[in-house]
Amino acid sequence: YHTLRFILGDQLNAAHSWFKEQDQGVLYVIAELHPEATYVKHHIQKLCAFFLAMETFANELMAAGHQVHYLTLDDTKDHTLDSLIFSIVAQEKIQTIELMRPDEHRVLMQYKHLFEHAKQPVTLFDTEHFLLPFEDIPLYFKPQHSVRMENFYRKMRQRFNILMDSDAQPEGGKWNYDSDNRNKLKAQDLNAIPAPLCFQYNVQHLLERIERHHIASIGNPQISLLWPVSQQDALVLLAYFCEHLLPNFGRFQDAMTDKTPHSWSLYHSRLSFALNAKLISPKQVINAAIAAYQENNAIDIAQIEGFVRQILGWREYVRGMYWINMPDYQEQNALEAHRDLPHYFWHGQTKMKCLASAIGQSLDYAYAHHIQRLMVTGNFCMLTEIEPQQVDEWYLGIYIDALEWVELPNTRGMSQFADGGWIASKPYAASGSYMQKMSDYCSDCHYKVKEKTSEASCPLNSLYWRFMVKHRERLATNPRIGMIYGNWDKQNDAQKHAVLQRAEWCLDNIESL
């Protein structure tokens, strides 16, 4: 072999120009690596999904006539990424090393080391996945500066001519249909929720391998893996989404319930793993969804716009924010939060129904939807001042789609406000009334959502006010928040004292909530 092309576990892009031609002198290597499996404690479904997707991809490349080595944990044992590459280069007398740009800063640092120490020329290729070219990130983002997603998203709509009319106006006349997308699921809506399409791969051999290598994980090992592991699977999941879920995607995108067997998935696409592993591209997903919208009258503009916004807007936006601010981003702790993550994040046993549901389904499926991540677990961690490092570790480990470039801005920025507002225009702080508005969790919760100070009161109510009062100086001038303080000021001193006292009790007894 004259050339080594190394493919990371999240670079499984079958449409990449590398694979257009076969060259018997090019060796492709895909490898399970100990450091990648252990840099954080991952959910067992996530470990299995990545390993099986990598193995499937290797097999597909081989079937297409490429030269591929798939290395398992047994083969790579004590190797790091660069030590493995160096050893293959020496063994195979490789003359050129070719890599794709990593999406995580941690991996980029390893590649930098490789660049500095390799005797052969090393070339970095684009992954040919994102819509926005990497080089263009500085055109839209500035380090340590707030950039609003909405502004960025509109520019992307224009730049890529997506959902735009012929006269360059947003299709339907509005850029944003968010206000149509905040419906609660009522009792009569529950039976109509479609079952999620789940794959069933037998991963016994992977579970054994993971155990043999003493790789610690989160969640219960299950013989079958329900996530897509190939481009073909991703296309099937995408088609299922467009037909059955997209017609109600926007409408119920913020809703939460635990009253049906499909509560964990609702109308969400669950395409994030396939997208992040690059089994499928954002353009493919957007095109398929827009084609479905054009053909199916049951899909209105609010549904398609809501979906396109997530992928063309949020997903590309957090990538820009990540790269423009790394490595600084991972150090941010603007609200100076230092409490430890409570133990129930690891088993879900808390009397707070909202938390128990969101954590429980995350442990079961390695999945929770956006509002559960932001407004249930995220909000709780922010109100109780959990150290962002620990919050990040939990999110980075537990979710099927968690890769640092997308996890970090969402968690530290969006959910914890630890960047002081680069991403979010205000902290996403909520009391029990939000939970009651958007979910049916409160109806059979141990705590009473209407009460603020009693022993039975929903902890979120007092914690919310404690948070708002504590950060008043920072928040009072924020036009999206300032008026809330009027409600606080209307209360007499005894009422205020009782609320703050209840909040302190909740914090002192956080492990037993």
Nearer to ligand FAD, 246 or 445 (CB): 246
Nearest distance from C-beta of residue 221 to ligand FAD, angstroms: 21
Cα gap 425→177, rounded to integer Å? 19
Nearest distance from C-beta of residue 510 to ligand FAD, angstroms: 19
Nearer to ligand FAD, 71 or 163 (CB): 163
Nearest distance from C-beta of residue 245 to ligand FAD, angstroms: 8
For 2, other C-beta atoms within 10 Å of its C-beta total: 14
Nearer to ligand FAD, 19 or 428 (CB): 428
Nearer to ligand FAD, 395 or 464 (CB): 395
Q: Which residues bind ligand FAD (CB under 6 A)?
A: 268-272, 275-276, 310-311, 314-315, 318, 369-370, 373-374, 378, 395, 399, 401-402, 406-407, 410-411, 414-415
Nearest distance from C-beta of residue 326 to ligand FAD, angstroms: 15
Residue type, 302: A
What six digits make up the tokens of 58? 């290797």
Beta bridge partners of 123: 98
Contacts of 232 (CB under 8 A, 6+ apart): none
Nearer to ligand FAD, 407 or 419 (CB): 407
Instruction: Kindly tell me the burial class for residue 137, based on how many C-beta atoms sit within 10 Å of its own C-beta (0-12, 13-18, 19 or more).
Output: middle
Nearer to ligand FAD, 207 or 368 (CB): 368
Nearer to ligand FAD, 76 or 272 (CB): 272
151-176 exposure pattern, b = at least 16 Cβ within 10 A, e = fewer: ebbeebbeeeebbeeeeeebbeeebb
Nearest distance from C-beta of residue 264 to ligand FAD, angstroms: 10
Question: Rounded to 10 degrees, what is the CA torsion of 123, 128, 132, 134?
Answer: -10
Nearest distance from C-beta of residue 426 to ligand FAD, angstroms: 15
Name the pairing type of β-strands 96-100 and 3-7: parallel
Nearest distance from C-beta of residue 311 to ligand FAD, angstroms: 5
* Cα maximum dimension of the chain: 79
Peptide bond into 228 cis (omega under 30): no
